[in-house]
Chain A
Amino acid sequence: MRMPEPDQAAIARRAEIALALRRILPAESVIDDGDARRAYESDGLTAYRQAPLVVALPSTTAEVASVLRYCHQNRLKVVPRGAGTSLSGGALPLADGVLLGMAKFNRVLDVDIANRAVVVQPGVTNLAISQTVAPAGFYYAPDPSSQIACTIGGNVAENSGGVHCLKYGMTGNNLLGLEIVLMTGEVLRLGGRHLDAGGFDLLGVVTGSEGLLGVVTEVTVRILRKPTTQRALLLGFASCEDAGTCVAKVIAAGIIPAGMEMMDRPAILAAEDFVHAGYPRDAEALLIVELDGPAVEVDELIQRVEQIAKACGSASVRASRDEAERQRFWAGRKAAFPAVGRISPDYYCMDGTIPRRRLPEVLAKMQEMSRACGLRVANVFHAGDGNLHPLILYDANKPGELETAEAFGADILKLCVAVGGVLTGEHGVGVEKRDLMGEMFSETDLAQQERLKCAFDAEGLLNPGKMFPVLHRCAELGRMHVSAGKLPHPELPRF
């Protein structure tokens, strides 16, 4: 993966930059020592590593603004970082860039149960928000699998999802307000505790912008009352087609489950061998369908889904009778990644989304590719919203296998796009899928996105090298020469 050519002059100025940052921040909040910097060299995408130029650990909005203003004045690149759990390399440092660690922003600022809102600093973990409001009977709905570690600031940057997105939406659907700092050091407040921030939906577009538009310094999230009942169904199928049909029929019946997860046979076996959740070992596909809400409704819908599953040929149908059994149903799914880790020295987790009905064909193609390249693949799948997580099994110690795995992964994502899907459903583009953006977007599509980037960060200093395959300077993005409101050569057709 090629990153922008490091600016050697900036690297040569490391000591001077660290000194300048220590005038803004307490001395211990600036790290320029070689070993200590290396602690930040990668995020959840560990295949890529790069120690940052300097690490800055601000603890107030004013400090973030001062650091950014200094970097802006000195034309220094900045990479923001939350907990560093990104699976797409969103927080991969730059050799000539300041790494802005937001871990010190770890306070819950206000819990406003009456308005169903919580105001937190960005370094608060996703799970901590739910834990904070649990005594009042509330929770924060988006639950990425890394929720114990990942921070809400990172969730905003990546528009993180989880298994409950179909019913409750992603991060962006559960935000009320943000405070962000632009690369120039300007502080903006978007939204608040009211709905619809007003003006252009900058809150909406900053969410999921992967740290390229601004640094999040405060987040107001919407919280929900915890459902009184949660029950799950464990459904085994003789084929992925049957399982896919079942998913479609559940939704066509007007039922939106809280979660609907599918696993294919390699994933079922790996999980069952690992945690003994009681999954049917003879099934080709397994569905976990979870319903939540008032007890009377959940019980009624569980019955309806059971009937649909049987009509779709499910050979094994089990409904959780108590919380322990529900947790058992989930245990295998939740352990799917480490379970696959047990049967392979390394694995590479992909994240495409497809129109659900194309699933059988995509899985079949994937098996073909798997045979052709000689690497196994196990699939876990947020079936309700079409978000695939193929896990490619490889051994990094075998020469060439990482490259083969990456090429296989890229082919899977191209396939997702070819059937009408997208490159990433919840992990983000980062550096990982950056060079595949052209599969999904035309030059014009990308240029429009880059121009928006220019509106926020005209010098391209914030998290460069992520998301866009080619870095254009804002000037070259064709601020088309305008004279008296007229384009040059108005006689030419422009399409």
Chain B
Amino acid sequence: MPQRLEPATAEELSAAVADSDGPLELLGQGSKRDFGRPVQAARILDLSRLAGVSLYEPEELVLSAGAGTPVAEIERLLAANGQMLAFEPPDLGPIFGEQAARGTLGGMIACNLAGPRRIKAGALRDHLLGATAVNGRGEIFKTGGRVMKNVTGYDLCKLLAGSFGSLAAIASATLKLQPAPEAVRTLMIRGLTDSAAMLLMSRALGSAEDVSGAVHLPEAAARLLPHADVGSAVTLLRLEGTPRSVAQRLSMLAKELEASSEALGEIESTVLWRSVRNLLPFRGDHAAAIWRLSVPPTTGADVLRACGPVERYFYDWGGGLIWVATAAEGDAGAGRLRTALAASGGHATLVRAPIAIRAAVEVFQPQEPALAALTRRVKESFDPMGRFNPGRMYPGV
């Protein structure tokens, strides 16, 4: 068993890092531990004791908490006050075979999570106002603040978000919050081809009706939603706001799109969007490799077609995010998927695969030499001795 360091304060975290003489694997509850390239570390830096909400001011839309604070605890607290994390972080644990509703604030930041509302509200990186972290030298540093608008110094929060724990160990962070919508409804269109769905979603997202979610599931994926009587591909468009506004926009959007559609109610909508957000269509299958492709939205269907045969897929972000399951053998499709998106631009990330594949395949999109070199220099600027999650994103980073 690797030795486990369990600091409970930023100072203890600093000491733990400064005193360690080798690589550390950063860990919260481990719900997404298998996301990324395998990390060889003699010690685990367990951040889960750095837990607890230290500041919550609903009327200022701000919350600060320790990195080890469970996301579920934060979301419960916000829900009780009619607020939410607008970027809708997905619960990825279950696709890694972990229990549902686990995961910490630190892990959510490390993966820069974002769900269907990404297209309207942004990703986690757009809501991270400030952080206190420990760099690879064991020094405590802070960046950002607790106010909504701040351009003082470099925004290191942006680098911490999505760095998979390879730059710094976050002790605590401050998030911007949003009020939860009073009402949510969904417009469902059945039977569209992928290409037709891309066009329809583009029109919906370009309409004045303020669509906050646009997904398309081909029949094989739609079948796995809780609303299981569909028997065809479905395209779902979400509207949120005050009840009157949502009802009116729903009918206006239906008219504008000139497609035969049906309106889903509040409860059905809530369940459906939670299912999409948490990748329910991918949950049953524990063997396949899972990819996440980020592409220009209207190119989604073309990219998917160019990928060749895949086991399962669906589109989020109006076509701009494609979740793809491939056979977990060989390179798990890395070559053909990345070739498929090369023309339109974007990136493919191998979210889940057996460890041997993750060790052999580039899990994150390969970088041009100049960008790869800058990435290494940025890593060194935070973690010169390569202590934090070495190799998790790229070899030598």
Residues of A within 8 A of B (CB): 112-117, 137-138, 158-159, 161, 165-166, 169-170, 172-173, 182, 186-190, 192-205, 207-209, 213, 225-228, 248-249, 251-256, 293-294, 296-297, 300-301, 353-357, 382, 384-387, 420-429, 433, 437, 440-442, 444-449, 451-456, 467, 478-480, 482, 485-487, 490, 493-495
The contact of A225 among B137, B158, B207, B378, by CB within 8 Å, is: B207
Q: Which residues of B contact A254 (CB under 8 A)?
A: 82-83, 179-180, 182
Q: Are A427 and B151 in contact (CB under 8 A)?
A: yes
Distance (whole angstroms) from the CB of B3 to the closest CB of chain A? 16
Q: Are B370 and A186 in contact (CB under 8 A)?
A: yes
Q: Are A249 and B378 in contact (CB under 8 A)?
A: no
Residues of B within 8 A of A (CB): 11, 14-15, 18-19, 21-22, 57-62, 82-83, 112, 114, 118-119, 122-123, 125-126, 135, 137-143, 145-156, 158-159, 161-163, 167, 178-180, 182, 202, 205-210, 241-242, 244-245, 248-249, 252, 294-298, 317, 320-321, 344-347, 349, 364-365, 367-368, 370-371, 374-375, 377-382, 384-386, 393-394
The contact of B154 among A208, A227, A300, by CB within 8 Å, is: A208
Say whether, besides A297-B241, A385-B147, A256 and B125 are in contact (CB < 8 Å).
no
Q: Are A196 and B162 in contact (CB under 8 A)?
A: yes
Q: Which residues of B contact A205 (CB under 8 A)?
A: 154-156, 158-159
Q: Are B122 and A169 in contact (CB under 8 A)?
A: yes
A293 vs B246: C-alpha distance when bound (angstroms): 12
**A191 to chain B: closest residue by CB:** B345
Q: Are A201 and B156 in contact (CB under 8 A)?
A: no
A228 vs B123: C-alpha distance when bound (angstroms): 26
Q: Which residues of B contact A209 (CB under 8 A)?
A: 154
The contact of B179 among A112, A115, A256, by CB within 8 Å, is: A256
Q: Are B384 and A198 in contact (CB under 8 A)?
A: no
Q: Which residues of A contact B241 (CB under 8 A)?
A: 293-294, 297
Q: Are B385 and A354 in contact (CB under 8 A)?
A: no
Distance (whole angstroms) from the CB of A319 to the closest CB of chain B? 17
Say whether, besides A194-B294, A421-B147, A467 and B153 are in contact (CB < 8 Å).
yes
Q: Which residues of A contact B135 (CB under 8 A)?
A: 448
Q: Which residues of B contact A300 (CB under 8 A)?
A: 242, 244-245
Q: Which residues of A contact B119 (CB under 8 A)?
A: 195
A426 vs B126: C-alpha distance when bound (angstroms): 16
Say whether, besides A165-B148, A425-B150, A452 and B381 are in contact (CB < 8 Å).
yes
Q: Which residues of B contact A172 (CB under 8 A)?
A: 126, 155, 158
Q: Which residues of A contact B15 (CB under 8 A)?
A: 493-495
Return 14 A-B CB contacts under 8 Å, by A number: A115-B297, A137-B208, A172-B158, A196-B112, A202-B374, A208-B151, A226-B208, A227-B208, A255-B179, A256-B178, A440-B145, A448-B382, A451-B382, A452-B381
Q: Which residues of B contact A448 (CB under 8 A)?
A: 135, 139, 141, 143, 156, 381-382
Q: Are A296 and B374 in contact (CB under 8 A)?
A: no
Q: Are B208 and A225 in contact (CB under 8 A)?
A: yes
Q: Are B147 and A386 in contact (CB under 8 A)?
A: yes
Distance (whole angstroms) from the CB of A410 to the closest CB of chain B? 14
Q: Are A293 and B151 in contact (CB under 8 A)?
A: no
Q: Are A355 and B345 in contact (CB under 8 A)?
A: no
The contact of B21 among A116, A194, A251, A490, by CB within 8 Å, is: A490
A294 vs B243: C-alpha distance when bound (angstroms): 13
Q: Which residues of A contact B138 (CB under 8 A)?
A: 494-495
Distance (whole angstroms) from the CB of A361 to the closest CB of chain B? 15
Q: Are B140 and A444 in contact (CB under 8 A)?
A: yes
Q: Are A192 and B345 in contact (CB under 8 A)?
A: yes
Q: Are A495 and B298 in contact (CB under 8 A)?
A: no
A24 vs B374: C-alpha distance when bound (angstroms): 26
Q: Are A494 and B18 in contact (CB under 8 A)?
A: yes
Q: Which residues of A contact B139 (CB under 8 A)?
A: 444, 447-448, 494-495
**A437 to chain B: closest residue by CB:** B153
Sample of 13 further A-B pairs with CB below 8 A, known A201-B161, A208-B154: A194-B297, A198-B364, A200-B162, A200-B167, A200-B375, A205-B155, A205-B159, A228-B208, A251-B60, A452-B378, A454-B381, A487-B21, A495-B140
**A251 to chain B: closest residue by CB:** B59
A311 vs B329: C-alpha distance when bound (angstroms): 65
A478 vs B382: C-alpha distance when bound (angstroms): 12
Which of A200, A252, A300, A495 counts the most B-chain CB atoms under 10 A from its CB? A200
A239 vs B207: C-alpha distance when bound (angstroms): 41
Q: Are A441 and B364 in contact (CB under 8 A)?
A: no
**A353 to chain B: closest residue by CB:** B147
The contact of B377 among A173, A198, A225, A455, by CB within 8 Å, is: A455
Distance (whole angstroms) from the CB of A484 to the closest CB of chain B? 9
A427 vs B167: C-alpha distance when bound (angstroms): 28
The contact of B151 among A158, A169, A452, A480, by CB within 8 Å, is: A158
Q: Which residues of A contact B374 (CB under 8 A)?
A: 182, 186, 188, 202, 455-456
Distance (whole angstroms) from the CB of B87 to the closest CB of chain A? 11
Q: Are B22 and A194 in contact (CB under 8 A)?
A: no
Q: Which residues of A contact B151 (CB under 8 A)?
A: 158-159, 161, 170, 208, 424-429
Q: Are A495 and B11 in contact (CB under 8 A)?
A: yes
Distance (whole angstroms) from the CB of B258 to the closest CB of chain A? 17
Q: Which residues of A contact B296 (CB under 8 A)?
A: 112, 115, 117, 192-194
**B241 to chain A: closest residue by CB:** A297
The contact of A422 among B123, B150, B345, B382, by CB within 8 Å, is: B150
Q: Which residues of A contact B298 (CB under 8 A)?
A: 114-115
Distance (whole angstroms) from the CB of A459 to the closest CB of chain B? 13
Say whether, besides A254-B82, A490-B19, A355 and B146 are in contact (CB < 8 Å).
yes
Q: Are A173 and B126 in contact (CB under 8 A)?
A: yes
A479 vs B15: C-alpha distance when bound (angstroms): 19
Q: Which residues of B contact A453 (CB under 8 A)?
A: 154
Distance (whole angstroms) from the CB of B335 to the closest CB of chain A? 17
A445 vs B321: C-alpha distance when bound (angstroms): 36
**B205 to chain A: closest residue by CB:** A116
Distance (whole angstroms) from the CB of B172 to the closest CB of chain A? 14
Q: Are B154 and A356 in contact (CB under 8 A)?
A: no
Q: Are B58 and A252 in contact (CB under 8 A)?
A: yes
